Each structure stands twice: as structure tokens, then as C-alpha cells.
Amino acid sequence: MGSAVTISAFATASDAPTLKVTAPTPSAPMNDVVVPSLDPTLSVTMSTGEYVQALGLQLGFALWQVGTAGGATLVEADAVPQAVGTTAYRVVSELAHDTQYQWRSRAVLDGAFGPWSNTASFRTSVLPPPPPTPALPLPSDVRARYRAILESDWSAATHPQDYPGGAHYSPILVVTHLATTTFWRSGMLASSGIERMAEEGSQSPLDGEVAAAIASGEAEAFVRGGGLGSTPEIEQVEFDITTGFPYVTVVSMIAPSPDWFIGLAGLPLIANGEWRDEVVVELFPWDAGTDDGASYESANADAGPAQPISLLQRPPVQVGGAVRPFGRFIFRRIE
Ligand SMILES: [Ca+2]
Ligand SMILES: [Ca+2]
């Protein structure tokens, strides 16, 4: 951490060699291979049997970050003593994820520089590895069945400003999944499925996103409940859940609205090694960030660019400086 990054003169000096040696040959990483770490080791070989093995010869390594528009920025350039056979250089800079880098090497001796090697390239990994999930102590019953009850309080009495005619909620969608599976959460950009659910109450294409997660072993069950045709009202949906996929994600559109919804993301139904008997979650409105409409009945106004999903904390849902919950989800174990 905090190591100083060096940019030595050999990187910016003329490409024309002033030292009569052969060029090193990059051996790894090359050909845009994805390296597993953000401080990879670059290695080269020198042709053997020549006087370039002389004591005191160094090999300079220069690393460029390739921009998305194609330009390259010199990140670091430093020299290490040449080793017999392969010479390795550990990158010092903090490299960016999901980025292409290019590098090359040349010999350095007393301010004179040999010819450059060919340019090699590699990529860094797309995402940081997920943090390890602490193991959840599991109940002895592999399977449980829950009733999810949506109790909506939303009315002209709780949220009087602009209260729309025909207020209702779209069908309740329930997914059970792993701790590491995320269909939505605060601060992330809405998927197409979350966008269409929040703007139109559509089951699709969210159902396709869930099907893909099920196919890849990240989710287990997808259940579509009824909606609420009016509010205040109560609706319920039952679903099975297993110890292999003990987290639940639920969504339903607040309707009419630009892109507002209620729900929860990744609620564990296991605690202290037992299936939880009952969990009550207050429901606050979320803004999917995909439509800029300011009130329930605003015309469509596709957000460009889309904003991260966030709690909706302004009029018309804010009343007297605070946002009252729209109601609650009650998860009650029934088997
Ligand atoms: Ca919005
Ligand atoms: Ca949209």
C-alpha cells in the first residue's frame, strides 16, 4: 500500500537504442490474458550466450493503461537487475479493474538503453471478488413454507399530496436465492426487468433474469402472487424456501407511478440456525431511477442517463418532512 510509483527515463527516452544488446522477449502476461490480481508480475527472457548477461545490466519494464478511446497512458516504468533466464517485475501501481494494459521492456545500463521488446498486453478482471459470505447456521428442516402478506396502508389519508385515482400495486413477485444473488438494491442501476416492473408492473423481462439466475444455480424459486387492485388492502402469496437458497427478494410496482416500487432485497429467512417464525418489514417507496416523472401520474419521461435505485424521499410521498411507510410485508412461516 502506498508504494511510490517510478517513471524512469528509459520509458520516455528515444526508442532508438543507445546500448548494443538484444531486445528482451515478453513471456507473460500476453495476448490480453485476464490476470488474476491487480499487481501482476511481468516477465521477459533475454537471449542467452551473449555479453548482455554482463553484470550490472538492468531490464526496464514500462506499463501503459489503454483508454477506452484507444490512447495509452504511461502508468509506471522501473528497472530491475537482469536475472539468468527469466527476469520478473512486480507491478507497483494500483491497477484498475476491467482495463487493458500494455507493457514492454528494454535493457538499461548507465543511462544507455537497448531496443524495446515487442509490446505485450493483458486485461484486469471485471469485478473485485465478492466478499466471503459468513456461513449461516442452518436449521434441521431443509424446507419451509411461508406466507408473504402485503398490508398496504397507502391512501389519501397517509399520502394526501397528488393521491392518484385507481391507486393499486402490480402482482407481487417473490424470488428465493443465495446470499450473493442480487436482483436489485439501493445504489445499483436497475436491470431491464426492474425497470419494466417499476414503470409498468410487468413480470417480464424480470422473469427472464430470474430464470437465468435459476439456471446458473443462483436462485431457486420464482412465485408470482396477485396484485392489490386497490389500497388500503391486503394480498398474500405463499412460497417454499430451502436451506440452500434461504434469501428472499420481493417487488411490486406502486401504481400509477413513474418508476416507483415497494420491495425488499435479500432478506434471510433463517436466523440463529432456525427458520424465522415471522418477519415484518416496513415498506418504503423506491425510485428505480429509470424515469424522471415527479408525481404518480406524470407522463413518461425516460431518465437519461439512468440513476441508481434510491429511496424516494421527496414530495408527493414525503409528508411533513418525513416519508411514511406505504405498509408492510409480513413473512409468516406456515410449514
Ligand atoms: Ca424516478
Ligand atoms: Ca424507462
Q: Are both 174 and 299 inside the same structural domain? A: yes
pTM to 2 decimal places: 0.62
Q: What is the Å distance from ligand 2's center to 305 Cα?
A: 10
Q: Alpha-carbon torsion 311, 316, 321, 327, what sign? A: negative
Measured distance CA(37)–CA(21) in Å, rounded: 32
For the chain, helix, strand, coil in percent to 5 are 10, 40, 50
Q: Who contacts 219 (Cβ-Cβ below 8 Å, separation ≥6)?
A: 175, 176, 177, 178, 181, 210, 213, 245
Cβ atoms of residues 235 and 147 within 8 Å: no
Measured distance CA(225)–CA(76) in Å, rounded: 57
The answer to whether residue 51 scores a pLDDT higher than 70 is no
Of the listed ligands, the closest to the CA of 304 is 2
Q: What is the Å distance from ligand 1's center to 212 Cα?
A: 27
Of the listed ligands, the closest to the CA of 199 is 2
Of the listed ligands, the closest to the CA of 301 is 2
**Cis bond before residue 139 (omega within 30° of 0):** no
* Domain end among 89, 124, 159: 124
**Segment 71-120, tens digit of pLDDT:** 889 999 999 999 888 999 999 998 988 899 999 999 998 889 999 999 99
Number of domains in the chain: 2
Measured distance CA(326)–CA(151) in Å, rounded: 9
Q: What is the Å distance from ligand 1's center to 318 Cα?
A: 15
* Domain end among 92, 124, 156: 124
**Segment 156-189, tens digit of pLDDT:** 999 999 999 999 999 999 999 999 999 999 889 9
Of the listed ligands, the closest to the CA of 194 is 2
Residue 148 is placed in which grid cell? 408473504
Q: What is the Å distance from ligand 1's center to 292 Cα?
A: 5
Q: Are both 174 and 82 inside the same structural domain? A: no
Give the pLDDT band of residue 53 (cuts 50, 70, 90).
Answer: low
Range of the domain at 203: 143-333
**Any idea which of 127-131, 173-177, 224-228, 278-282 has the lowest mean pLDDT?**
127-131
